[in-house]
């Protein structure tokens, strides 16, 4: 009984640690630099992380493909995509 209670407390402490870690991550504005919060990497295996990252990247690619530029592929996003696909370096403005 006591052992179960200890495991229960440890599980709660771990979840709290993850929540605090994510709160700090969002508070410092780091969420714009990665797909997932830190707790995601603690709760998933490397294989799951790779698979889920690929799925998310595919969703982003699909959204970009669905975008219709206002002036026949003259929107800035298409210039960036073309340079990326042609392995040229992107010049900073």
One digit per residue, pLDDT tens: the chain, 93 residues?
A: 788 899 999 999 999 999 999 899 888 887 767 788 888 888 999 999 999 999 988 988 888 888 765 555 555 666 666 666 665 454 544
- Token pair 């714009």: residue: 32
List C-alpha distances in Å: 60 to 3, 55, 65, 81, 89: 46, 9, 9, 13, 21
pLDDT the model gives residue 73: 53
Alpha helices in 1-93 (DSSP H): 2-27, 38-43, 46-66, 76-85
pTM of the shown model: 0.56
């Amino acid at each position: 009984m006591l052992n179960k209670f200890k495991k229960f407390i440890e599980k709660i402490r771990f979840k709290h640690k993850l929540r605090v870690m994510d709160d700090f991550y969002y508070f410092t504005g780091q969420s714009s630099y990665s797909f997932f919060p830190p707790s995601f990497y603690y709760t998933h295996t490397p294989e799951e992380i790779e698979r889920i990252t690929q799925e998310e990247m595919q969703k982003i690619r699909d959204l970009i493909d669905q975008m219709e530029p206002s002036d026949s592929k003259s929107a800035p996003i298409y210039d960036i995509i073309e340079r990326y696909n042609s392995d040229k370096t992107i010049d900073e403005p």
